[in-house]
Structure 1
């Protein structure tokens, strides 16, 4: 079975302040726990990213960009070529909820964008996938499986980037459920987002054997908003990040309790159990995603990179344990 490549999101290779790009690559290498740098080369810095990736032996295997259907189809091709030149293998497409024409993207719009990206990727030599994410069409988790089914009906795989934090964000949080109009269905049990309940959405996605890339960022059921950084519209950041390990006094604005990290850990364990028990599992990329920005860890005073390293160490240990249970003698390859 193919080994994982474990990366760190480039927005999290920092402590509390942004660091020079070369320092980021050096920190990543010196941690001795990551395999790659998870970020698309930023505009105007493409050659510097490639130079530093080669200098520090930290390849740019994965990266993402956000797109608007009806406007950014040409930008997608340009970005795929940039990623290919940088040695990347997989591009994560985040497609905004609204089309350039102003309407909420339809299933037809989403499928058309995916098919366009797939064709470009095949021609350029880049794998593509779509992620569930706030502010994107996929923030509504009820839309994921119907889109996957429609793509597969075209004879193509639906390559999925699972960010469980953007589902668990809505757990025990009616305000977040209301963002996509799903509160009534959650309360009635028609839609299950709790990973500990049978029939939940994340288990279904994993069982479809479509998760190519797993992103690890804890959130807490009904977790605290980020009151240390405002969004562009002047609101507190959404509760999209909860520290993986206990911050030191004064480093965070809320009380930390270990049990709140357990739903995140359980999703990772389930993805790993599926991977090691399923021939042909496509899961290849893992990234730790403790990052800055208002909806995440912007303005916080704990080290984002130290949190990412802690997640990476936990992941490697957990993956080795689960692999040993399913494939004795193979755990040392993690």
Structure 2
């Protein structure tokens, strides 16, 4: 099955940080000619503007996300699902914070309970829900993902996964980032393998489970440079969650750029696509490009977020055609598109 390819609304701008109206975001994304949908949940107070812009530019809102705290936001979840459905969305990405409303690290069972609650609401309202691997969320400890997925599936429902591989790749060869996740000791012992080129790595495990409903594409570099233009005094922000897809022009970025650092991202995308090609029951339906403007990403940078999102979308479309063709031609997709 083919995909719907969307652009994150935060990436619908040329100069990160420059305010762009909702109407202009939709206009810019539509004008590129490479996207099928707009990726962002209508923001509070601007709901009508999003819906009107989607209709005006014939660019549907098919995906969007929100962050939730277990034990506090169950009612907010239902409100958001209904809002997304009204806006025409097909899938809602749930990012569940590491901490419960009571202050403790959310347990596996609490994650499962939140998922089952969300899944039941989604079934009733008519929208697919998914859980994303992401920093600041319970999934930042990658060891928990398969464990929770198995617990969910034991209830007879699928575990819908939103794969943002950038949040894994940024921790490769980065001890500080591994410490944030609490996985450093297991990585060093080979019990948690995060290098996508090593057998038994978590990304291959997740892909093989055939549970990815939504793939987000944002390059990062293993042990890449932090966002020097968004570091704050407490050193909380400016994490290395975004690496330019192509070489920035002079003055557009704070660090040296090397093409080889983008390859791990491309390789993971190829593996996801091969899995999708070879699995008739693949649930993958939505693809989004996610070069965005937040402090841990492209905030403060000078390169055009939209140009990079367009380049990713064009590369993805060509790569998917090459992945389909390689089965009969014998020519690897890597040799066709770079």
* Range with bigger deviation, 224-233 or 188-197: 224-233
Shift in CA distance, 232/85, structure 1 to aligned 2, threshold 3 Å:
farther
Q: Return the offset for 1:324.
A: 1.9
1:261-306 Cα deviation digits (max 9, x unpaired): 0000000000001100111101100000000111000000000110
| Secondary structure of 2:199 counterpart | coil
Kindly indicate whether residue 295 of structure 2 is the aligned counterpart of residue 300 of structure 1.
no
| Secondary structure of 2:247 counterpart | coil
Q: Distance in 1 between matches of 2:328 and 2:22?
A: 39
| Secondary structure of 1:63 counterpart | strand
Unpaired segments of 5 or more residues in structure 2? 330-338
Q: Return the offset for 1:58.
A: 0.7
Q: Distance in 1 between matches of 2:118 and 2:253?
A: 40
Aligned position for 1:332: none
| Secondary structure of 2:230 counterpart | strand
Q: Distance in 2 between matches of 1:323 and 1:38?
A: 26
Q: Distance in 2 between matches of 1:272 and 1:310?
A: 18
Q: Return the offset for 1:12.
A: 0.7
Using structure 2 for the length normalisation, give the TM-score: 0.95
Kindly indicate whether residue 286 of structure 2 is the aligned counterpart of residue 285 of structure 1.
yes
Q: Return the offset for 1:18.
A: 2.6
Q: Distance in 2 between matches of 1:226 and 1:204?
A: 30
Kept in 2: contact 1:242–1:261 (CA 8 A): yes
| Secondary structure of 2:64 counterpart | strand
Q: Distance in 2 between matches of 1:314 and 1:5?
A: 15
Aligned position for 1:83: 84
Query: How many residues are paired up?
Result: 328
Q: Return the offset for 1:235.
A: 3.8
1:55-100 Cα deviation digits (max 9, x unpaired): 1011000000000000000000000000000000000000000000
Aligned position for 1:6: 5
Kept in 2: contact 1:164–1:215 (CA 8 A): yes
Q: Distance in 1 between matches of 2:81 and 2:40?
A: 13
Aligned position for 2:243: 242
Using structure 1 for the length normalisation, give the TM-score: 0.96
Unpaired segments of 5 or more residues in structure 1? 329-334
RMSD: 1.4
Aligned position for 1:41: 42
Aligned 1:56-67 pairs, distance under 5 A:
56-67=57-68
Aligned position for 2:336: none
Kindly indicate whether residue 37 of structure 2 is the aligned counterpart of residue 26 of structure 1.
no
Q: Return the offset for 1:230.
A: 3.2
Q: Distance in 2 between matches of 1:71 and 1:299?
A: 33
Q: Distance in 1 between matches of 2:195 and 2:232?
A: 28
Aligned position for 2:178: 177
Aligned position for 2:104: 103
| Secondary structure of 1:111 counterpart | helix
Q: Distance in 2 between matches of 1:234 and 1:15?
A: 27
Kept in 2: contact 1:93–1:128 (CA 8 A): yes
Aligned 1:257-272 pairs, distance under 5 A:
257-272=258-273
